[in-house]
Structure 1
Amino acid sequence: HNIAKEMLGYGVRMGRAALLSAVIAAVVSVCGALHTEGLSQRISSAPSLAMRPSQELLRLRGAGPKKTPLKVKVATLKDTKKNPVEEWWFGYPCVTRWWFALCITTTLISWDKLPVNLPPQQLMLYWPAIIRGGVWRLLTTFTYFGSVGHNMLMEAVFMLNYSKSMEVTYNGARAKYMWHLALNSLALMALNTLVGLLGIGMDQEDGSKIPGIPFLAQPLLYSIVWIWARQNPETRMSVFGFFSVPAVYFPWFLLGYHCLMGGGLNIFYLMGFVVGHIFHFLSALHPSTKDSGLFEPPKWLAELMPVEKGFSGTVGV
């Protein structure tokens, strides 16, 4: 009887994992279709030797009639009109737009209004479940901003703006930005273990407590906010259009505003700020670590994600 229950539980977990994979694959296919559509439009508008008249081809090869004048028009790439969705999608750099796509996917597959869904408990960071095979939790803990609603939408838009502002400072080096996000994620998981040992965790219905913070998407976002603010300390940040503050103080403004609104001292902000500060100190300030090579992406990642053209510079949020 116990073996049958274990087999049934394993089957349910595998089914949920298959559902998660299918939804992510669907989102990847749609986003890939957008990319392919834009690429095909550019290719179709480019001049091609195959489209030139046969006489021109012969003339170019030296086999055409000698008296035939060579008339080669200077072809230029036509301006192709993008559809609004494609224009919006490619308005964000690579890592930012795919992180956003995964956030939307994770939110939708956990939406209880859908006939088939995964409860958030199947997506959170919980090491016993990860050891038993739920390795997707290592990803979904950084892509879940909450259930469908106003707060989730605001966090997703916040992530889009700040991640884009951070990523463009990498001048298209998306592998390096991806590597830095991975390092911050590892640091957050380590810090989360310490937070759990301090007695902070998520209470369960049976009275037990899951140690640590189950979802780390917000701490990862606020670590980016902290790093960006440290890299652009003199940039003026507009606050609701009424006044502005230097970027270096903006993270503290966010924390103070959250406290004034009754949210208390948010652990998400604090964890993100701590990890962001450590990362900025080691990668930009400490002489023995900033040039150590630790913050350079591995060769395989650099080959997998080459430099993306079209996104460079330092911009404000």
Structure 2
Amino acid sequence: MALSFTQEYFHIPAVTRAYTTACVLTTAAVQLEVVAPFQLYFNPDLIIRRYQIWRLITSFLFFGSLGFSFVFNIIFLYRYCRMLEEGCFRGRRADFVFLFLFGGIVMTLLGLLAPVSFLGPAFTVMLVYVWSRRHPLVRVNFFGLLNFRAPLLPWVLAGFSLLLGNSVAVDLLGISVGHMYYFLEDVFPNQPGGRKLLTTPELLRALFDRPDDPDDPDDRLLRDEQQGDDLHD
């Protein structure tokens, strides 16, 4: 069982694995009282005046105490982050990391104006939004109650948050940043006179993109898909 779990864990794409693990470990540390939520939340005053720079990262890692909200958020994070990394970002790890950086930086800047203490849930909504806009024809079943096209999913999540009595500011922040990325990456470059404004830095490509590994299942599957496309053409 342990070996099977280990194999499955390392089969998860690298970026999804790293981020999800960091979120789970952060929540575990809070539950074990190793750290307190007050040491993690997004506070511009403490970041700027007391140089508590770690809050720029930890505010994206904590999803609340163990309970329904945590499980709900971590499932959505894992599911849609993995589908993005294995789908439209397959073989483009540096581009996927750049999406993380773009979303994190813009969300942090907008967080100065929004009443949000933890940015992790908003980051999840951003990933859901990007996935939903790139898969407009996919139908989503929400808890077996609603069936709708993928682009409606972020708005359904916002409505669900409202029903639970939570602030929709988090969802709207994630939707806004997700739409910025989608517009700059997928819409504007394809318009007359448009051009690509988001370019992955070469440093990220040097760090995260690596030569094909013949023993890596992801690389092997990507090569098979490319060969199939060539034969089709």
Instruction: Please indicate the TM-score interval, normalised by the length of the shorter structure.
Output: 0.7 to 0.9
Q: Secondary structure at the match of 2:11?
A: coil
Cα gap change, 1:289/1:219 in structure 2, threshold over 3 Å: closer, same or farther? farther
CA drift at 1:233: 0.4
Quick check: which one's helix share is greater?
2
CA drift at 1:230: 0.6
- Name the residue aligned to 1:273: 175
- Superposed CA deviations along residues 194-252 of structure 1, whole A, max 9, x for unmatched, are 22xxxxxxxxxxxxxxxx31110010110111111111100111222355211111222
Cα gap change, 1:290/1:147 in structure 2, threshold over 3 Å: closer, same or farther? farther
- Name the residue aligned to 1:193: 112
- Name the residue aligned to 2:161: 258
Whether the 8 Å CA contact 1:283–1:289 is kept in 2: the answer is no
In structure 2, what residue type is equivalent to 1:98? A
- Superposed CA deviations along residues 49-101 of structure 1, whole A, max 9, x for unmatched, are xxxxxxxxxxxxxxxxxxxxxxxxxxxxxxxx992222221232110010011
- Name the residue aligned to 2:39: 122
CA drift at 1:262: 3.7
Cα gap change, 1:120/1:99 in structure 2, threshold over 3 Å: closer, same or farther? same
In structure 1, what residue type is equivalent to 2:175? F
- State the superposition RMSD in angstroms: 2.3
Q: Find the aligned partners of 2:169 and 2:24 in 1 and give their Cα distance.
A: 23
- Name the residue aligned to 2:129: 226
Q: Find the aligned partners of 1:143 and 1:262 in 2 and give their Cα distance.
A: 22
- Name the residue aligned to 2:98: 179
In structure 2, what residue type is equivalent to 1:176? D
Cα gap change, 1:282/1:264 in structure 2, threshold over 3 Å: closer, same or farther? same
In structure 2, what residue type is equivalent to 1:89? Y
Given candidates 184, 188, 196, the residue that maps to 1:282 is 184
Unaligned runs of 5+ in 2: 226-233
- Name the residue aligned to 1:152: 70
Task: Find out whether 1:246 has 2:149 as its counterpart.
Answer: yes
User: Structure 1 stretches (4+) deviating beyond 6 angstroms?
Assistant: none
Unaligned runs of 5+ in 1: 1-80, 196-211
Give the TM-score normalised by structure 1: 0.61
Number of residue pairs matched by the alignment? 211
CA drift at 1:263: 2.1
- Superposed CA deviations along residues 253-309 of structure 1, whole A, max 9, x for unmatched, are 2222333x34255111111011111110111111366523x332x222212112575
In structure 2, what residue type is equivalent to 1:283? E
Q: Percent identity?
A: 28
